[in-house]
Every structure is written in C-alpha cells, then in structure tokens.
A and B are shown apart, each in its own frame.
Chain A
Amino acid sequence: MICVIAMIVFGILGIFSVKYRTIAKESFECVFKRITLRPCTTGLDERLKGQITGKLMKKSPKVAAFTYKHFEVFSWFFLILLIGSLIYSGISAYNLIVYENCHGPGSDEVCVFNPETYANEGNCECTSDTDCTCPEGTCTCLDGQCVS
C-alpha cells in the first residue's frame, strides 16, 4: 500500500520537479500491478520499506523492528489518513471557490486557504484572549494569534 501513497505524493511533487516523476511512474506501475492482482515487481515498496526502517534503526531499533513487522498495517493507516485529508481538502477548496469560505455557506470560522486570513497578521495585536486591535478591518484572537 505504500506504493499508493508514493504515487499520490510523488505524482503531485512530479508536477513541479522532474526528479520525482520517475518514482511517480514506478509507483504507478506498482499500483497498477496490485490492482490487477499481480505482485509489484518494481521493488519500490521494498525499497521504501528498507529506507524508512533503516532510518528508524538509527533512532530506535525497537521502533524499527515494530515498524518493519507491521509495515503493511502502517501503510494502510497512512493511506486512509491521506485519502481522508485529500477528501477534506477537496471539499474545502470547493467551498472556498463557491462560497469564498472553506467551511461552507454562512460560516465565519477561519479558513486557512483564504489569503485574506493572513492579510492583517502581524499588524494587529491581541489585547486579551479574545480581543485584538487592528489597523484596519476586523480581526479575532485565535490561540493568542491575531487573525482577520
């Protein structure tokens, strides 16, 4: 399953950089073979497993051994996380385009995708846990940070 994650991640990175395209292509081949019920023969999944576990070995051999043993489970877990976050990102992007707010119509919550969120950041100051002073527009206090 690590190949699916690799295909998505390196596929996106490959848009911007040639060096990731080869890995993206390799991971696509691997995924294609897996969905057609054949084993992945590119060796990419094994390489990624070896690289990740090898790096972990330097920090903690026990964690490395646990990761190595349950690598497929971790891969599934991260794949579900990745797909979930991609779905939520997609919904937010849709909301931002249609309603100019990533939380949907009528929401006044802060939207991280909205550039206006950061417009006054740095220019305003929190005067209490909830109040801010702003040079222009309105802003609110969020975790001690002023956001518009």
Chain B
Amino acid sequence: MNMDKTRKDFPVLNKIIYLDSACMSLKPIQVIEKINEYYKDYPGCGGRGVHSISKKVDEECLNARKQIQKLLNIKNEEQIVFTKNTTEALNLVYNSLKFKKVITTDKEHNSNLVPVLRLKKEKGIKHDIIFGNKDNTFNLEEFQDKIKDTQLVSMVHTSNLDGTTIPAKEIIKIAHENNSLVMLDGAQSAPHKEIDLKKMDVDLFACSGHKMLGPTGIGMLYGKEEVLEKLDPFILGGETVTNSTYESYTLEKIPNRFEAGLQHYAGIIGLGEACNYLRKVGMENITNQEIKVNKIIDDGLRNIDGINIIGPSDVRLRPGITSFTYKNKDVHQIALLLDHSKKIMMRSGQHCVHSWFNNHNLKGSVRASLYLYNNEDDAHKLVDGLKDVIKVIG
C-alpha cells in the first residue's frame, strides 16, 4: 500500500491529524469529483424520465450498485436498498419485519438499541442481551443458551466502542439452526475489513457511506431476496409502486419498493466511487495498515501510567480502534487539549453506546479510530501529544 500516494488523495491531512474515522471518514478527491460530476454534468432524476440526463443518472446509479455488489460480494445488485444511513436501514427492518423476540449484544449503538426498546414498550416484544466476556469479546456460550424461540438476532458486527468484531460466522450458523434471522450492523465493519456477504450467509446487513469514504446521507441495507420480500415497506410514495387507483396500489419489485421518493443520487454515485476506491486499495491492505498503526498507539498508551484501554489487549482483535480513559479525568478535556494544542482530532464521550457506559459506571472514553490514510507518524504524534496533555491535566 503506497501511503504517500493514498494520503495525497486526502488534502485535509496536510493540516490535521485525523483519528475520528469511526464517526466520519475523510473523502478522497476522486469521490468528491464524482459527486461534483453529477451536479455539474447530469443533475437529473433517476428512475423516471426518458431523456438522456435521466438515463445517465440511472446508468451511474446502477454502476454504483455494481461497485457495492463487488466490494461486499453480493449475489444480485437488487439486494441493495439505499437508505440515508445505517440507522435508517436498521429502522426500516424494525418497522417492516414481524417478530416476537430479538437478541442483541451489550454494546449496541443507539441505532440498534433504541428501536428495540420502543418495540418492547409498544408491542411487547422480548429482548435478550448477550453480555460480553471480561475483555469485551463476544460470549458465544451465553448466546447458545439464549437463542431459543428467537426470530431475530440483531447485532453490531464491529463495535464502534472498542473495535471488536463478533464471530459472525458462528453466530449465523447457530441462529439459522434455530430458524432465526440475523441482521448485522456493519457500519464499522464494511469500511475496514473484507466482507463477503454471500459466504457469510447473513440475512440482513446495514452500513453507511460516510464511514467508508463516501458522502454523508447515504447508506444501504443488504438483504437476502426472500427476506426482503417478507418486509413490508413502511415508507411509500413515488417509485415504490407500479400502479395505483383511488382504491388500491401495486408494489414495485425489490429494492424499488423500499426506496420511496427522489433518491440522493449524488450520494449513491459518490458511494459507488468510494467502493471502487476501497477495492483498488484492497480491504486486506486496509486492515493490515490499521493494525500496524494501532499497535504503535497501543504500545505507547500502555506505557503511560493511568491509561486504561477498553477491550482486548491484542490489537488484532480491534484493528482500527483504541478507546481509553485516563484516571478519572474528563475525556472531553483530553480531546479538546489534543485538538487545540496538537491538531489531533479524536472523539470523546459515550459514542452513542450510552447503555454500555452506564452499565460500567463510566462517563465516557477517548477514542482513536483509524483508517487507510493514517500512518505511523500519526500514531507517534498521538502518543507524544497525549503525554504532553497528561503533564497539563496531571
């Protein structure tokens, strides 16, 4: 992987050290140019018109679907439903699928916990939680004990809190043996590791464009065809029906029936280009680069007295993320001081996983989240910067 060449595609890196990719990835100039191309050259409606600009939009959107299909190894591009982001994709399922019991992990992002809590309150569904092992890894034995009578297993694939990935293959196998569907929140896994949805045999998979070099406001839901057919769309409108009378309507085929109204075409096209970029770099190269940089951060932080790293000690189990606390110091102060003194951008707080932090009596953590554009120099600067900050806050 040619780091110098890669970093040149992200001009903002000349000014800052960016370690908040779990929240929002930077966009390479190729993606930005592709988005601009839509607005400059063919800013029309897709799926409706017969004129050449409209047809060009259709062609580019189809191309984007194919890029996503290749990146995630999806059988058919029609299994991709465009959404606003992962949150919307998960909510689409929760509002469209009928089930009585769901299992989640103890580290769910609010986007995969709050909809469940609402369904529990309003429709009386059962909700079981699999609590992690001491090092925050997945407890497969507990899962086996709780799977009975579950219709949906909905879990965060890679945690945005500590970067650990659940053993999806084993979970899916056990769930399918118990006639349960599996939905994975892939917001943090799809951008950072090789995903083969066909091989994985997962039923539903959601991810966001903005975390994988794509623009904001675009995400997707993948589903097995037979599962998507079962879902009852909860937003209806233009392009979701083939015909309507004053009394009835006929639903479109998948995925159109889930994509109501005018779509975020620039976003879709930008996401396609982002997937193309990721494929060119190679997902394995990305994971390896993240592990290499994260190892330097991990080693450096472990030498600082008072630092507590959340999650397993082996960085290969949490390639792109190091989440930590320092004594009982305010995590926001650490992030602010790193920003204003060293121009290091990091996330602090509870990272939308309030439930886990509340359960562990922690106010939050500081999180360094890496991506393909982070190099060893970034890691050393973080460790040195943190040492300087600690001298100030004591």
Contact = CB atoms under 8 A, between A and B. Distances in A.
Interface of A: 43, 46-47, 49-51, 53-55, 57-58, 61, 64-65, 68-69
A64 B392 contact: yes
Contact of A61 (B332, B339, B392): B392
A8 B336 CA distance: 24
**Top-10 shortest CB links A-B:** A54-B340, A50-B336, A57-B341, A54-B341, A65-B392, A54-B337, A64-B392, A50-B333, A68-B392, A51-B340
B388 interface: yes
Contacts of B340: 50-51, 53-55, 57
A68 B339 CA distance: 16
Nearest to B340: A54
A54 B336 contact: yes
Nearest to A58: B341
Contact of B332 (A50, A65, A68, A69): A50
B351 to A, nearest CB: 16
A3 B1 CA distance: 49
B330 interface: yes
A50 B339 CA distance: 9
Given A43-B332, A49-B333, A61-B388, A54 B394 contact: no
A69 B340 CA distance: 17
Interface residues of B, number: 16
Contacts of A50: 332-333, 335-337, 339-340
A50 to B, nearest CB: 3
A interface SS class: helix
Interface of B: 330, 332-333, 335-341, 388-389, 391-394
Contacts of B332: 43, 46-47, 50
A26 to B, nearest CB: 15
B393 A68 contact: yes
B176 to A, nearest CB: 46
Contacts of B333: 46, 49-50
B17 to A, nearest CB: 14
B257 to A, nearest CB: 42
A122 to B, nearest CB: 41
A68 B391 CA distance: 11
B336 A47 contact: yes
A10 to B, nearest CB: 18
Given A46-B330, A50-B332, A69 B337 contact: no
Contacts of B392: 53, 57, 61, 64-65, 68
Contacts of A65: 391-394
B173 to A, nearest CB: 45
A55 B330 contact: no
Given A50-B339, A64-B392, 20 more contacts: A43-B332, A46-B330, A46-B333, A46-B336, A47-B332, A47-B336, A49-B336, A50-B332, A50-B336, A53-B337, A54-B336, A54-B338, A54-B339, A58-B341, A61-B388, A61-B392, A64-B341, A65-B391, A68-B394, A69-B394
